Structure 1
Amino acid sequence: MRRATTLLTNMRRIIKLYDSMLKPVCEHYDLTLMETTIISFLYNNPGKDTAADIVELRMLAKSNVSQAVESLIQKSLLYRTQDTKDRRKIHLSLAEKTKPITQEIERVRERFRERVFQGFSEEEENLVVQFNKRIAENIKLEGERGENR
C-alpha cells in the first residue's frame, strides 16, 4: 500500500475506533454521536463555545451541529447565552447534569489512548503527538494557500 493510502486508512480507522468506543456512552445517555461529540468538544475546549467554533475546529457540517445543539438544549443539557458585545454571537455552555457524561467520555478517551498507543514507550507516544502537530500545521498551511490561489 502506498504511504498516502496507509495514512488515510489509518486516520479513518482511528476515527471509527473512537466512535465505536463512544457508542455505549451514547446509548447509556440516549444521545446521538453528534450530541456526544458536541458535549465532549465544549468540555475539552474552554473558550471555544459557539456552534461556529465546533463547525470550524471539528470540521463538521453546520446543519448537523445546529440540529444536535437544538436537541441538547431541548434535553436541558446545554444552555445558550447571547454575547454581550455581539448580539449575533451565541455562546454554548454545558449544564451541570452533563458532568457524569463528560466523566464517562474522559474514561473512553483514556481507554482509546491506551489502545492506540499500546506497546509504545512514552517517548514514542510523544513523538507521534509531535508528528501529528506538524502534519496539522502542514494541512493548515495548505488550506491557507488554497484560499489564496
Structure 2
Amino acid sequence: MASNTDFLLSIRTSVKLHETLLKKICETCRLTLIEGKVIAFLHNNPGKDTAADIAEFRMLSKGNVSQAVESLIQKGLLQRIPDLHDRRRIHLVLLASSDPITAKIDCMMEEYRQYLFQGFSQKELDCYQKLSERIMENTKNAMKGRNTYE
C-alpha cells in the first residue's frame, strides 16, 4: 500500500495538472485562475451556485471568490440573482457570453480525464468509481461536526 505521503502527493499532483490545464484557458480568455475556477465550478455543479458554495467546495477564500465574482460580472460573464425565498442568498448564473469559455472547459475536462485514466480498462474505471465513492463517504463521515474550511 502506498504511504500517506504518496497518497496525498498523488491527489496534489492531480489537482496541479487540472490547474495547469485550466491556466491555459484562463490565459487565452484573459481570466485570472480564480475567475476560471469560478466559471468551471458553476458550469460543472448545477444547484451549487452561490459564492459560499464555491468557497466551500473549491476550498478558496471567500474574499478571493467575491473579488472574482465581481470581476466576472464586470466582464459580462456572470449575473447575480437574489433568492426568491431568502433575500440574504444570492445565486450566480453564467451568462451566454461565457459559453465559449465553458466549451473550452468541457474540452479541458475530457483531456484531463484522458491523462488520468490512460490505459485503464472499463473494469478498472468501474472499480475506481466505486472506491472513490467509498473514500468520499468515509471522508464525509470523518468530517461530520468538524469545521473543515477555517
Structure 1 residue aligned with 2:62:
62
SS where residue 81 of structure 1 aligns? strand
% identical equivalent positions: 50
Q: Give the deviation of 1:44 after TM superposition.
A: 1.1
Pairing of 1:7-86 with structure 2 (within 5 A): 7-86=7-86
Structure 1 Cα separation of the partners of residues 114 and 2 of structure 2: 27
Structure 2 Cα separation of the partners of residues 37 and 107 of structure 1: 15
Structure 2 Cα separation of the partners of residues 32 and 129 of structure 1: 32
Structure 1 residue aligned with 2:116:
116
| Gapped regions of structure 1 (runs ≥ 5) | none
Aligned-CA RMSD value: 1.5
Q: Give the deviation of 1:59 after TM superposition.
A: 2.1
Structure 2 Cα separation of the partners of residues 72 and 146 of structure 1: 32
Structure 1 residue aligned with 2:130:
130
Structure 2 Cα separation of the partners of residues 101 and 51 of structure 1: 19
Q: Give the deviation of 1:52 after TM superposition.
A: 1.1
Structure 1 Cα separation of the partners of residues 118 and 77 of structure 2: 34
Structure 1 Cα separation of the partners of residues 41 and 34 of structure 2: 10
SS where residue 55 of structure 1 aligns? helix
Structure 2 residue aligned with 1:139:
139
| Gapped regions of structure 2 (runs ≥ 5) | none
Structure 2 Cα separation of the partners of residues 71 and 146 of structure 1: 32
Structure 2 Cα separation of the partners of residues 138 and 146 of structure 1: 14
Q: Give the deviation of 1:104 after TM superposition.
A: 0.4
SS where residue 92 of structure 1 aligns? strand
Q: 1:145 to 1:3 in 2, by over 3 A?
A: farther
Number of aligned residue pairs: 147
Structure 2 residue aligned with 1:90:
90
Q: Give the TM-score taking structure 2 as reference length.
A: 0.92
SS where residue 37 of structure 2 aligns? helix
